[in-house]
Structure 1
Amino acid sequence: MIECRAPQNPQEYEQYYQLRWQTLRAPWQQPLGSEQDELETQSVHRMVINEQGQVIAIGRLHFTNHNNAQIRYMAVADSFHGQGLGRVIIDALEQVAKKFGVATITLNAREQAVGFYQKLGYQGDLVSHVLFGEIKHIAMHKLLKSAISKHPLAVKELEHTWHTTIPMSKAMGINITYYDQKKLVTTCDLNINKNLHNTMFAGSIYTLATLAGWGWLALQLHEKQLQGDIVLAEAEVKYLSPVEGIAYATTSDKNELSEFTRLKNGRNEKVTLTVNITSGEKVAAQFIATYVVKNRKMN
Protein backbone atom coordinates (compact mmCIF):
# COMPACT_ATOMS: atom_id res chain seq x y z
CA MET A 1 0.00 0.00 0.00
CA ILE A 2 1.33 3.43 -0.91
CA GLU A 3 1.03 6.67 1.06
CA CYS A 4 1.12 10.22 -0.30
CA ARG A 5 2.13 12.97 2.13
CA ALA A 6 4.71 15.61 2.95
CA PRO A 7 8.21 14.61 4.12
CA GLN A 8 8.21 14.58 7.92
CA ASN A 9 11.85 14.43 9.00
CA PRO A 10 15.38 15.11 7.69
CA GLN A 11 15.79 11.52 6.52
CA GLU A 12 12.64 11.67 4.40
CA TYR A 13 13.65 15.03 2.93
CA GLU A 14 17.01 13.52 2.03
CA GLN A 15 15.28 10.71 0.12
CA TYR A 16 12.90 13.21 -1.44
CA TYR A 17 15.69 15.41 -2.81
CA GLN A 18 17.79 12.39 -3.78
CA LEU A 19 15.02 11.13 -6.07
CA ARG A 20 14.64 14.62 -7.53
CA TRP A 21 18.35 14.80 -8.29
CA GLN A 22 18.62 11.24 -9.65
CA THR A 23 15.66 11.74 -12.00
CA LEU A 24 15.84 15.37 -13.05
CA ARG A 25 19.50 16.37 -12.73
CA ALA A 26 21.97 13.46 -12.62
CA PRO A 27 21.26 12.23 -16.19
CA TRP A 28 22.48 15.62 -17.45
CA GLN A 29 25.61 15.61 -15.28
CA GLN A 30 24.30 18.28 -12.92
CA PRO A 31 25.89 18.39 -9.45
CA LEU A 32 24.18 17.26 -6.26
CA GLY A 33 22.45 20.34 -4.83
CA SER A 34 21.33 21.66 -8.21
CA GLU A 35 17.96 20.01 -7.63
CA GLN A 36 17.04 22.58 -4.95
CA ASP A 37 16.29 26.30 -5.17
CA GLU A 38 15.58 29.26 -2.89
CA LEU A 39 11.84 28.48 -2.66
CA GLU A 40 12.05 25.12 -0.89
CA THR A 41 11.18 26.41 2.60
CA GLN A 42 8.09 28.29 1.37
CA SER A 43 6.74 25.47 -0.81
CA VAL A 44 4.38 22.52 -0.45
CA HIS A 45 6.08 19.14 -0.90
CA ARG A 46 4.44 15.79 -1.59
CA MET A 47 5.92 12.33 -1.97
CA VAL A 48 4.63 8.81 -2.46
CA ILE A 49 6.12 6.15 -0.17
CA ASN A 50 5.68 2.42 -0.75
CA GLU A 51 5.38 -0.36 1.83
CA GLN A 52 9.17 -0.68 2.02
CA GLY A 53 9.52 2.99 2.99
CA GLN A 54 10.97 3.99 -0.38
CA VAL A 55 10.21 7.42 -1.81
CA ILE A 56 9.00 6.55 -5.32
CA ALA A 57 7.33 9.75 -6.59
CA ILE A 58 7.60 13.45 -5.74
CA GLY A 59 6.33 16.89 -6.66
CA ARG A 60 6.35 20.47 -5.37
CA LEU A 61 3.92 23.39 -5.34
CA HIS A 62 4.85 26.98 -4.59
CA PHE A 63 2.72 30.10 -4.53
CA THR A 64 3.63 32.69 -7.16
CA ASN A 65 1.09 35.27 -6.00
CA HIS A 66 -2.09 35.39 -3.91
CA ASN A 67 -4.24 33.35 -6.29
CA ASN A 68 -1.73 31.43 -8.39
CA ALA A 69 0.72 28.60 -7.85
CA GLN A 70 3.22 26.58 -9.86
CA ILE A 71 3.97 22.86 -9.84
CA ARG A 72 7.62 21.92 -10.30
CA TYR A 73 10.03 19.02 -9.89
CA MET A 74 7.62 16.21 -10.72
CA ALA A 75 9.44 12.87 -10.75
CA VAL A 76 8.68 9.15 -10.52
CA ALA A 77 11.37 6.55 -9.83
CA ASP A 78 12.30 4.66 -13.01
CA SER A 79 11.06 1.24 -11.86
CA PHE A 80 7.64 2.62 -10.86
CA HIS A 81 6.54 4.30 -14.08
CA GLY A 82 3.08 3.48 -15.42
CA GLN A 83 1.45 2.98 -12.02
CA GLY A 84 -0.44 6.29 -11.84
CA LEU A 85 1.87 7.81 -9.23
CA GLY A 86 2.23 11.08 -11.12
CA ARG A 87 -1.54 11.54 -10.99
CA VAL A 88 -1.48 10.84 -7.24
CA ILE A 89 1.06 13.63 -6.71
CA ILE A 90 -0.81 16.10 -8.93
CA ASP A 91 -4.11 15.38 -7.17
CA ALA A 92 -2.49 15.92 -3.77
CA LEU A 93 -0.90 19.23 -4.79
CA GLU A 94 -4.14 20.47 -6.36
CA GLN A 95 -6.05 19.70 -3.17
CA VAL A 96 -3.63 21.85 -1.19
CA ALA A 97 -3.87 24.64 -3.78
CA LYS A 98 -7.67 24.66 -3.51
CA LYS A 99 -7.51 24.96 0.28
CA PHE A 100 -5.46 28.14 -0.09
CA GLY A 101 -7.77 29.60 -2.72
CA VAL A 102 -5.46 29.20 -5.70
CA ALA A 103 -7.33 30.03 -8.93
CA THR A 104 -4.72 28.95 -11.49
CA ILE A 105 -1.94 26.36 -11.42
CA THR A 106 0.86 26.66 -13.95
CA LEU A 107 3.68 24.28 -14.83
CA ASN A 108 6.37 23.79 -17.43
CA ALA A 109 6.00 20.28 -18.81
CA ARG A 110 8.81 18.38 -20.47
CA GLU A 111 7.76 17.77 -24.06
CA GLN A 112 7.24 14.02 -23.59
CA ALA A 113 4.97 14.64 -20.56
CA VAL A 114 2.53 17.03 -22.25
CA GLY A 115 0.00 14.27 -22.95
CA PHE A 116 0.02 13.22 -19.29
CA TYR A 117 -0.83 16.74 -18.14
CA GLN A 118 -3.47 17.20 -20.83
CA LYS A 119 -5.33 14.17 -19.45
CA LEU A 120 -5.39 15.92 -16.07
CA GLY A 121 -6.95 19.09 -17.51
CA TYR A 122 -3.87 21.21 -18.19
CA GLN A 123 -3.72 23.29 -21.36
CA GLY A 124 -1.01 25.08 -23.31
CA ASP A 125 1.34 24.50 -26.23
CA LEU A 126 3.91 27.32 -26.13
CA VAL A 127 7.56 26.58 -25.42
CA SER A 128 8.58 28.16 -22.11
CA HIS A 129 12.28 27.29 -22.12
CA VAL A 130 14.86 24.68 -23.09
CA LEU A 131 16.68 23.17 -20.12
CA PHE A 132 20.36 22.19 -20.41
CA GLY A 133 20.20 23.12 -24.07
CA GLU A 134 18.12 20.10 -25.04
CA ILE A 135 15.02 19.51 -22.85
CA LYS A 136 12.12 21.46 -24.32
CA HIS A 137 9.45 22.59 -21.83
CA ILE A 138 5.87 23.57 -22.66
CA ALA A 139 4.01 26.18 -20.55
CA MET A 140 0.69 24.78 -19.33
CA HIS A 141 -2.03 25.87 -16.93
CA LYS A 142 -5.24 24.70 -15.25
CA LEU A 143 -8.08 26.72 -13.71
CA LEU A 144 -9.35 25.61 -10.30
CA LYS A 145 -12.83 26.21 -8.96
CA SER A 146 -12.84 28.56 -5.98
CA ALA A 147 -14.84 27.78 -2.84
CA ILE A 148 -15.55 31.51 -2.54
CA SER A 149 -17.98 31.11 -5.43
CA LYS A 150 -20.46 29.64 -2.93
CA HIS A 151 -20.50 32.87 -0.92
CA PRO A 152 -19.33 35.65 -3.26
CA LEU A 153 -21.54 38.45 -1.92
CA ALA A 154 -20.77 37.87 1.76
CA VAL A 155 -17.02 37.68 1.09
CA LYS A 156 -17.09 40.76 -1.13
CA GLU A 157 -19.00 42.72 1.52
CA LEU A 158 -16.53 41.66 4.23
CA GLU A 159 -13.54 42.80 2.17
CA HIS A 160 -15.34 46.09 1.44
CA THR A 161 -15.96 46.59 5.16
CA TRP A 162 -12.30 46.01 5.94
CA HIS A 163 -10.99 48.32 3.26
CA THR A 164 -13.40 51.17 4.03
CA THR A 165 -13.40 51.06 7.84
CA ILE A 166 -9.87 49.76 8.55
CA PRO A 167 -7.52 51.68 6.21
CA MET A 168 -4.55 49.52 7.25
CA SER A 169 -6.20 46.46 5.69
CA LYS A 170 -6.34 48.16 2.30
CA ALA A 171 -2.79 49.46 2.60
CA MET A 172 -1.56 45.95 3.42
CA GLY A 173 -3.43 44.47 0.45
CA ILE A 174 -5.40 42.05 2.62
CA ASN A 175 -7.96 39.94 0.80
CA ILE A 176 -9.84 36.67 1.19
CA THR A 177 -8.76 33.73 -0.95
CA TYR A 178 -10.90 30.90 0.47
CA TYR A 179 -14.07 30.38 2.48
CA ASP A 180 -16.17 27.21 2.80
CA GLN A 181 -18.30 28.01 5.89
CA LYS A 182 -15.84 26.19 8.15
CA LYS A 183 -12.51 27.72 7.18
CA LEU A 184 -11.45 31.22 6.13
CA VAL A 185 -8.11 31.98 4.45
CA THR A 186 -6.76 35.51 4.03
CA THR A 187 -3.53 36.83 2.58
CA CYS A 188 -1.76 40.12 1.95
CA ASP A 189 0.85 41.68 -0.30
CA LEU A 190 4.25 40.64 1.06
CA ASN A 191 6.01 43.35 -0.96
CA ILE A 192 4.57 46.04 1.33
CA ASN A 193 4.68 44.00 4.55
CA LYS A 194 8.39 43.14 4.68
CA ASN A 195 10.88 43.88 7.42
CA LEU A 196 14.59 44.61 7.03
CA HIS A 197 15.27 40.86 6.79
CA ASN A 198 13.01 40.57 3.73
CA THR A 199 10.50 38.46 5.68
CA MET A 200 7.04 39.40 6.87
CA PHE A 201 6.83 42.18 9.47
CA ALA A 202 5.59 40.94 12.87
CA GLY A 203 2.97 43.70 13.06
CA SER A 204 1.59 42.64 9.68
CA ILE A 205 1.37 39.03 10.85
CA TYR A 206 -0.61 40.14 13.89
CA THR A 207 -2.95 42.31 11.81
CA LEU A 208 -3.53 39.64 9.16
CA ALA A 209 -4.35 37.06 11.84
CA THR A 210 -6.60 39.46 13.74
CA LEU A 211 -8.69 40.18 10.66
CA ALA A 212 -8.86 36.50 9.69
CA GLY A 213 -10.41 35.66 13.05
CA TRP A 214 -12.65 38.74 12.95
CA GLY A 215 -13.74 37.92 9.41
CA TRP A 216 -14.50 34.29 10.24
CA LEU A 217 -16.83 35.43 13.02
CA ALA A 218 -18.46 38.02 10.77
CA LEU A 219 -19.20 35.36 8.14
CA GLN A 220 -20.53 32.99 10.79
CA LEU A 221 -22.94 35.70 11.94
CA HIS A 222 -23.98 36.26 8.34
CA GLU A 223 -24.63 32.53 7.86
CA LYS A 224 -26.97 32.53 10.88
CA GLN A 225 -28.56 35.87 9.98
CA LEU A 226 -27.40 37.43 13.23
CA GLN A 227 -25.97 40.86 13.98
CA GLY A 228 -23.37 41.96 16.49
CA ASP A 229 -20.30 44.14 16.87
CA ILE A 230 -17.08 42.10 16.95
CA VAL A 231 -14.17 43.33 19.06
CA LEU A 232 -10.86 41.69 19.98
CA ALA A 233 -10.70 41.16 23.74
CA GLU A 234 -7.30 39.50 24.13
CA ALA A 235 -4.77 37.69 21.98
CA GLU A 236 -1.46 35.85 22.07
CA VAL A 237 0.76 35.31 19.06
CA LYS A 238 3.68 32.88 18.85
CA TYR A 239 6.23 33.66 16.13
CA LEU A 240 7.67 30.25 15.27
CA SER A 241 9.76 30.95 12.17
CA PRO A 242 10.26 33.69 9.54
CA VAL A 243 7.46 34.09 7.00
CA GLU A 244 8.96 33.94 3.53
CA GLY A 245 7.05 34.30 0.28
CA ILE A 246 3.25 34.46 0.15
CA ALA A 247 1.72 34.30 3.64
CA TYR A 248 -1.73 32.91 4.41
CA ALA A 249 -3.74 33.30 7.59
CA THR A 250 -5.95 30.25 8.02
CA THR A 251 -8.55 29.71 10.71
CA SER A 252 -7.90 26.40 12.43
CA ASP A 253 -9.98 23.30 11.71
CA LYS A 254 -10.22 22.91 15.49
CA ASN A 255 -12.25 26.11 15.88
CA GLU A 256 -15.76 25.21 16.98
CA LEU A 257 -18.65 26.64 15.00
CA SER A 258 -20.49 28.85 17.49
CA GLU A 259 -24.25 28.71 17.83
CA PHE A 260 -24.18 32.21 19.39
CA THR A 261 -26.65 31.12 22.05
CA ARG A 262 -25.88 34.04 24.37
CA LEU A 263 -26.16 36.52 21.51
CA LYS A 264 -29.54 35.09 20.53
CA ASN A 265 -30.65 35.56 24.14
CA GLY A 266 -29.72 39.24 24.08
CA ARG A 267 -26.28 38.97 25.72
CA ASN A 268 -22.69 39.37 24.57
CA GLU A 269 -20.93 36.29 23.15
CA LYS A 270 -17.29 35.37 23.83
CA VAL A 271 -15.50 33.21 21.25
CA THR A 272 -11.89 31.94 21.32
CA LEU A 273 -10.25 31.14 17.98
CA THR A 274 -6.93 29.93 16.61
CA VAL A 275 -5.48 31.33 13.38
CA ASN A 276 -2.33 29.90 11.78
CA ILE A 277 0.00 31.97 9.58
CA THR A 278 1.65 29.68 7.07
CA SER A 279 4.62 29.94 4.76
CA GLY A 280 4.04 27.15 2.29
CA GLU A 281 2.40 24.55 4.53
CA LYS A 282 4.64 25.30 7.49
CA VAL A 283 2.97 27.10 10.39
CA ALA A 284 5.21 30.12 10.95
CA ALA A 285 3.05 31.85 13.55
CA GLN A 286 0.09 30.88 15.70
CA PHE A 287 -2.49 33.40 16.87
CA ILE A 288 -4.89 32.51 19.70
CA ALA A 289 -7.47 35.18 20.40
CA THR A 290 -10.70 35.82 22.24
CA TYR A 291 -13.27 37.99 20.51
CA VAL A 292 -16.46 39.40 21.98
CA VAL A 293 -19.55 39.70 19.81
CA LYS A 294 -21.51 42.54 21.39
CA ASN A 295 -25.29 42.47 21.26
CA ARG A 296 -26.24 45.77 19.64
CA LYS A 297 -29.36 46.14 21.81
CA MET A 298 -27.14 46.28 24.89
CA ASN A 299 -24.78 48.94 23.56
Structure 2
Amino acid sequence: MWLREQWGFPPGSEKDEYETVSEHRAVLSPSGDIVACGRIHLNSAEEAQIRHIAVDKKYRRKGVGQLILGALEVVARDLGAKRAVTNSRETSMSFFSACGFEIESKAPTELGKLKRKHMFKILVDNNVLILHPQWCKELQDTWHEKIPITEHMGIKLYQYTERTIETRASLNKNINLHGSMFAGSIFSQATLTGWGMIFLQLKQKDLKGEIVLGDGNIHYHRPITIRPRAICNIESVKARFDLLKANKKCPIELTVDIHDDDTSVASFTGKYWVIPPKKDEE
Protein backbone atom coordinates (compact mmCIF):
# COMPACT_ATOMS: atom_id res chain seq x y z
CA MET A 1 0.00 0.00 0.00
CA TRP A 2 2.79 2.46 0.95
CA LEU A 3 4.68 1.68 -2.26
CA ARG A 4 2.09 2.80 -4.80
CA GLU A 5 -0.79 4.56 -3.03
CA GLN A 6 0.85 8.00 -3.10
CA TRP A 7 1.24 7.74 -6.87
CA GLY A 8 -2.33 6.65 -7.50
CA PHE A 9 -1.49 3.02 -8.28
CA PRO A 10 -3.34 0.11 -6.61
CA PRO A 11 -1.70 -2.43 -4.28
CA GLY A 12 -0.08 -5.20 -6.31
CA SER A 13 1.12 -2.94 -9.10
CA GLU A 14 4.61 -3.13 -7.57
CA LYS A 15 4.85 -6.80 -8.56
CA ASP A 16 6.91 -7.62 -11.65
CA GLU A 17 8.66 -10.52 -13.39
CA TYR A 18 11.19 -10.79 -10.53
CA GLU A 19 8.57 -11.32 -7.83
CA THR A 20 8.72 -15.12 -7.81
CA VAL A 21 12.53 -15.25 -7.68
CA SER A 22 12.92 -12.57 -5.01
CA GLU A 23 13.35 -12.88 -1.27
CA HIS A 24 11.24 -10.63 0.95
CA ARG A 25 11.78 -9.34 4.44
CA ALA A 26 9.32 -7.58 6.76
CA VAL A 27 9.19 -6.01 10.22
CA LEU A 28 6.14 -6.69 12.37
CA SER A 29 4.67 -4.52 15.09
CA PRO A 30 3.99 -6.01 18.55
CA SER A 31 0.44 -6.68 17.38
CA GLY A 32 1.64 -8.58 14.32
CA ASP A 33 1.01 -5.93 11.66
CA ILE A 34 3.56 -5.40 8.89
CA VAL A 35 5.16 -1.99 9.40
CA ALA A 36 8.06 -2.26 6.95
CA CYS A 37 9.03 -4.40 4.00
CA GLY A 38 11.69 -4.87 1.34
CA ARG A 39 12.66 -7.15 -1.52
CA ILE A 40 15.87 -8.42 -3.09
CA HIS A 41 16.80 -10.55 -6.11
CA LEU A 42 19.96 -11.46 -7.99
CA ASN A 43 20.82 -9.65 -11.23
CA SER A 44 23.82 -11.93 -11.63
CA ALA A 45 25.84 -14.33 -9.47
CA GLU A 46 27.69 -11.37 -7.96
CA GLU A 47 25.09 -8.58 -7.93
CA ALA A 48 21.89 -8.30 -5.90
CA GLN A 49 19.23 -5.64 -6.45
CA ILE A 50 17.30 -4.15 -3.55
CA ARG A 51 13.82 -2.84 -4.29
CA HIS A 52 10.56 -1.79 -2.71
CA ILE A 53 11.72 -0.77 0.74
CA ALA A 54 8.78 0.88 2.48
CA VAL A 55 8.04 1.87 6.07
CA ASP A 56 4.73 2.79 7.67
CA LYS A 57 4.57 6.55 8.45
CA LYS A 58 4.23 5.85 12.19
CA TYR A 59 7.53 3.96 12.25
CA ARG A 60 9.72 6.23 10.13
CA ARG A 61 12.91 7.79 11.54
CA LYS A 62 13.11 5.05 14.15
CA GLY A 63 15.72 2.84 12.50
CA VAL A 64 13.21 0.44 10.96
CA GLY A 65 14.35 1.23 7.42
CA GLN A 66 17.96 0.43 8.33
CA LEU A 67 16.75 -2.81 9.90
CA ILE A 68 15.08 -3.90 6.66
CA LEU A 69 18.04 -2.84 4.53
CA GLY A 70 20.44 -4.70 6.82
CA ALA A 71 18.33 -7.86 6.56
CA LEU A 72 18.33 -7.62 2.75
CA GLU A 73 22.11 -7.18 2.70
CA VAL A 74 22.43 -10.36 4.78
CA VAL A 75 20.37 -12.18 2.15
CA ALA A 76 22.60 -10.77 -0.60
CA ARG A 77 25.74 -12.03 1.14
CA ASP A 78 24.18 -15.43 1.76
CA LEU A 79 23.42 -15.67 -1.96
CA GLY A 80 27.05 -14.93 -2.75
CA ALA A 81 26.60 -11.40 -4.08
CA LYS A 82 29.66 -9.16 -3.98
CA ARG A 83 27.69 -5.94 -4.33
CA ALA A 84 24.18 -4.59 -3.84
CA VAL A 85 22.48 -2.05 -6.11
CA THR A 86 19.29 -0.02 -5.95
CA ASN A 87 17.54 2.60 -8.04
CA SER A 88 16.83 5.37 -5.56
CA ARG A 89 14.44 8.29 -5.83
CA GLU A 90 15.71 11.71 -4.77
CA THR A 91 13.80 11.49 -1.49
CA SER A 92 15.63 8.29 -0.44
CA MET A 93 19.15 9.01 -1.69
CA SER A 94 20.27 10.41 1.66
CA PHE A 95 19.00 7.25 3.39
CA PHE A 96 20.98 4.94 1.13
CA SER A 97 24.04 7.21 1.29
CA ALA A 98 23.96 7.03 5.09
CA CYS A 99 23.89 3.23 4.78
CA GLY A 100 27.03 3.11 2.65
CA PHE A 101 25.64 3.31 -0.89
CA GLU A 102 27.22 5.50 -3.58
CA ILE A 103 25.72 7.02 -6.72
CA GLU A 104 26.96 5.24 -9.83
CA SER A 105 24.79 6.59 -12.66
CA LYS A 106 21.34 7.74 -13.68
CA ALA A 107 18.58 5.15 -13.58
CA PRO A 108 15.42 4.82 -15.70
CA THR A 109 12.53 6.94 -14.43
CA GLU A 110 9.98 5.17 -12.25
CA LEU A 111 6.29 5.14 -13.22
CA GLY A 112 7.28 7.25 -16.20
CA LYS A 113 8.03 10.41 -14.20
CA LEU A 114 10.10 9.87 -11.03
CA LYS A 115 13.81 10.58 -11.44
CA ARG A 116 16.16 8.06 -9.86
CA LYS A 117 19.86 7.35 -9.39
CA HIS A 118 21.54 3.97 -9.64
CA MET A 119 23.38 3.40 -6.36
CA PHE A 120 25.69 0.60 -5.26
CA LYS A 121 27.44 -0.79 -2.21
CA ILE A 122 30.30 -3.26 -2.05
CA LEU A 123 29.39 -6.08 0.33
CA VAL A 124 32.27 -7.02 2.59
CA ASP A 125 31.92 -9.49 5.44
CA ASN A 126 35.01 -9.30 7.62
CA ASN A 127 34.01 -12.47 9.46
CA VAL A 128 34.15 -14.62 6.31
CA LEU A 129 37.43 -16.22 5.30
CA ILE A 130 37.90 -17.34 1.72
CA LEU A 131 41.31 -18.88 1.14
CA HIS A 132 42.45 -19.70 -2.39
CA PRO A 133 39.78 -17.55 -4.08
CA GLN A 134 40.75 -18.81 -7.55
CA TRP A 135 40.04 -22.41 -6.54
CA CYS A 136 36.79 -21.34 -4.89
CA LYS A 137 35.68 -19.49 -8.01
CA GLU A 138 36.55 -22.55 -10.11
CA LEU A 139 34.45 -24.70 -7.78
CA GLN A 140 31.46 -22.33 -8.00
CA ASP A 141 31.78 -22.15 -11.79
CA THR A 142 32.04 -25.95 -12.01
CA TRP A 143 28.87 -26.35 -9.96
CA HIS A 144 26.93 -23.97 -12.18
CA GLU A 145 28.25 -25.37 -15.46
CA LYS A 146 28.22 -29.11 -14.71
CA ILE A 147 25.62 -29.34 -11.93
CA PRO A 148 22.98 -26.74 -12.94
CA ILE A 149 20.75 -27.57 -9.96
CA THR A 150 23.18 -25.65 -7.75
CA GLU A 151 22.29 -22.37 -9.44
CA HIS A 152 18.55 -23.11 -9.33
CA MET A 153 18.83 -23.85 -5.61
CA GLY A 154 20.91 -20.75 -4.95
CA ILE A 155 23.79 -22.78 -3.47
CA LYS A 156 26.89 -20.68 -2.92
CA LEU A 157 30.30 -21.35 -1.42
CA TYR A 158 30.26 -19.09 1.62
CA GLN A 159 33.53 -19.85 3.40
CA TYR A 160 36.68 -21.91 2.93
CA THR A 161 39.60 -22.06 5.38
CA GLU A 162 41.45 -25.20 4.13
CA ARG A 163 40.01 -27.01 7.17
CA THR A 164 36.36 -26.02 6.80
CA ILE A 165 33.99 -25.43 3.92
CA GLU A 166 30.58 -23.82 4.35
CA THR A 167 27.86 -23.46 1.73
CA ARG A 168 24.59 -21.59 1.95
CA ALA A 169 21.42 -21.98 -0.05
CA SER A 170 18.36 -19.87 -0.76
CA LEU A 171 15.43 -20.92 1.40
CA ASN A 172 13.07 -19.07 -0.95
CA LYS A 173 14.13 -21.26 -3.89
CA ASN A 174 13.75 -24.51 -1.94
CA ILE A 175 10.68 -23.92 0.20
CA ASN A 176 7.84 -26.44 0.45
CA LEU A 177 4.15 -25.97 1.24
CA HIS A 178 4.94 -26.11 4.98
CA GLY A 179 7.23 -23.08 4.78
CA SER A 180 10.41 -25.11 5.32
CA MET A 181 13.17 -26.41 3.06
CA PHE A 182 12.54 -29.51 0.95
CA ALA A 183 14.24 -32.57 2.42
CA GLY A 184 15.60 -33.36 -1.04
CA SER A 185 17.15 -29.89 -1.26
CA ILE A 186 18.85 -30.38 2.11
CA PHE A 187 20.27 -33.70 0.89
CA SER A 188 21.48 -32.06 -2.35
CA GLN A 189 23.17 -29.20 -0.48
CA ALA A 190 24.90 -31.65 1.87
CA THR A 191 26.06 -33.82 -1.03
CA LEU A 192 27.46 -30.86 -2.93
CA THR A 193 29.20 -29.49 0.17
CA GLY A 194 31.03 -32.79 0.61
CA TRP A 195 31.79 -32.81 -3.11
CA GLY A 196 33.18 -29.28 -2.79
CA MET A 197 35.42 -30.22 0.14
CA ILE A 198 36.95 -33.04 -1.93
CA PHE A 199 37.36 -30.74 -4.95
CA LEU A 200 39.31 -28.22 -2.87
CA GLN A 201 41.37 -30.93 -1.14
CA LEU A 202 42.43 -32.25 -4.55
CA LYS A 203 43.51 -28.72 -5.46
CA GLN A 204 45.38 -28.44 -2.19
CA LYS A 205 47.27 -31.69 -2.85
CA ASP A 206 47.78 -31.00 -6.57
CA LEU A 207 45.81 -34.10 -7.53
CA LYS A 208 43.23 -34.67 -10.24
CA GLY A 209 40.27 -36.98 -10.62
CA GLU A 210 36.55 -37.27 -11.19
CA ILE A 211 34.51 -37.04 -7.98
CA VAL A 212 31.43 -39.26 -7.75
CA LEU A 213 29.05 -40.04 -4.90
CA GLY A 214 28.89 -43.72 -4.01
CA ASP A 215 26.43 -43.58 -1.13
CA GLY A 216 24.87 -40.99 1.13
CA ASN A 217 22.80 -41.10 4.30
CA ILE A 218 21.16 -38.22 6.11
CA HIS A 219 19.37 -37.93 9.43
CA TYR A 220 16.92 -35.04 9.80
CA HIS A 221 16.33 -33.61 13.28
CA ARG A 222 14.45 -30.37 12.61
CA PRO A 223 13.07 -28.43 9.63
CA ILE A 224 14.92 -25.50 8.07
CA THR A 225 12.89 -22.29 8.14
CA ILE A 226 15.49 -19.50 8.31
CA ARG A 227 18.93 -19.93 6.72
CA PRO A 228 20.25 -23.21 5.20
CA ARG A 229 23.92 -23.77 6.04
CA ALA A 230 26.05 -26.85 5.32
CA ILE A 231 29.47 -27.28 6.97
CA CYS A 232 32.16 -29.90 6.42
CA ASN A 233 35.27 -30.01 8.59
CA ILE A 234 38.53 -31.64 7.52
CA GLU A 235 38.52 -33.75 10.71
CA SER A 236 35.57 -35.73 9.33
CA VAL A 237 37.31 -36.56 6.04
CA LYS A 238 38.75 -40.07 5.72
CA ALA A 239 40.60 -40.49 2.42
CA ARG A 240 43.25 -42.65 0.76
CA PHE A 241 44.85 -40.03 -1.45
CA ASP A 242 47.93 -42.27 -1.77
CA LEU A 243 45.84 -44.58 -3.97
CA LEU A 244 45.04 -41.71 -6.30
CA LYS A 245 48.74 -40.92 -6.58
CA ALA A 246 49.20 -44.54 -7.66
CA ASN A 247 46.53 -44.02 -10.34
CA LYS A 248 43.94 -46.05 -8.42
CA LYS A 249 40.43 -45.19 -7.28
CA CYS A 250 40.43 -43.24 -4.04
CA PRO A 251 37.60 -43.88 -1.53
CA ILE A 252 36.58 -40.94 0.67
CA GLU A 253 34.15 -40.77 3.58
CA LEU A 254 33.09 -37.54 5.23
CA THR A 255 30.40 -35.90 7.32
CA VAL A 256 28.46 -32.70 6.60
CA ASP A 257 26.54 -30.92 9.34
CA ILE A 258 23.41 -29.01 8.31
CA HIS A 259 22.32 -25.94 10.26
CA ASP A 260 19.33 -23.64 10.17
CA ASP A 261 21.13 -20.41 10.98
CA ASP A 262 22.95 -21.51 14.18
CA THR A 263 20.77 -24.53 15.01
CA SER A 264 21.91 -28.04 14.02
CA VAL A 265 19.10 -29.72 12.04
CA ALA A 266 20.61 -32.66 10.13
CA SER A 267 23.72 -34.79 9.68
CA PHE A 268 24.90 -36.26 6.37
CA THR A 269 27.44 -39.04 5.86
CA GLY A 270 28.75 -39.49 2.35
CA LYS A 271 30.90 -42.08 0.65
CA TYR A 272 32.60 -40.75 -2.46
CA TRP A 273 35.09 -42.05 -4.99
CA VAL A 274 37.71 -40.11 -6.88
CA ILE A 275 38.40 -41.74 -10.23
CA PRO A 276 41.93 -41.05 -11.53
CA PRO A 277 42.10 -39.38 -14.94
CA LYS A 278 43.04 -41.41 -17.98
CA LYS A 279 46.63 -40.96 -18.98
CA ASP A 280 45.67 -39.06 -22.14
CA GLU A 281 43.64 -36.61 -19.96
CA GLU A 282 46.45 -35.77 -17.55
When the two structures are superposed, what TM-score results if normalisation uses the length of structure 1? 0.60
- Letter paired with 2:2: T
SS of match in other structure, 1:41: helix
Instruction: Spell out the pairing of 1:1-299 with structure 2 (5 A cutoff).
Output: 22-124=1-103, 126-145=105-124, 150-153=129-132, 155-157=133-135, 160=138, 169=146, 178-180=158-160, 181-184=164-167, 212-219=193-200, 230-234=211-215, 253=229, 255=231, 257-260=233-236, 262-263=238-239, 269-273=252-256, 290-292=270-272
Q: Deviations over 1:217-243 (max 9, x none)?
A: 4446878x8989754113599xxxxxx
Q: Is the 8 Å Cα contact of residues 178 and 186 (structure 1) preserved in structure 2?
A: no
Q: Which has the higher contact order (CA 8 A, sep 6+)?
A: 1
Q: Is the 8 Å Cα contact of residues 216 and 270 (structure 2) preserved in structure 1?
A: yes
Query: Partners in 2 of 1:260 and 1:31 — Cα distance?
Result: 55
Q: 1:217 to 1:125 in 2, by over 3 A?
A: closer
SS of match in other structure, 1:33: coil
SS of match in other structure, 1:157: helix
User: Alignment identity in percent?
Assistant: 27
Please give the root-mean-square deviation of Cα atoms over the aligned residues, in Å: 4.6
Could you tell me how far 1:95 is from its partner in structure 2?
1.2
When the two structures are superposed, what TM-score results if normalisation uses the length of structure 2? 0.63
- Letter paired with 1:234: D
Gap regions ≥5 residues in structure 2: 171-186, 219-226, 243-249, 260-267, 277-282
Q: 1:105 to 1:125 in 2, by over 3 A?
A: closer
- Letter paired with 1:82: R
Query: Partners in 1 of 2:62 and 2:114 — Cα distance?
Result: 24
Q: Is the 8 Å Cα contact of residues 179 and 185 (structure 1) preserved in structure 2?
A: no
SS of match in other structure, 1:253: strand
Q: 1:233 to 1:51 in 2, by over 3 A?
A: same
Q: 1:152 to 1:141 in 2, by over 3 A?
A: same
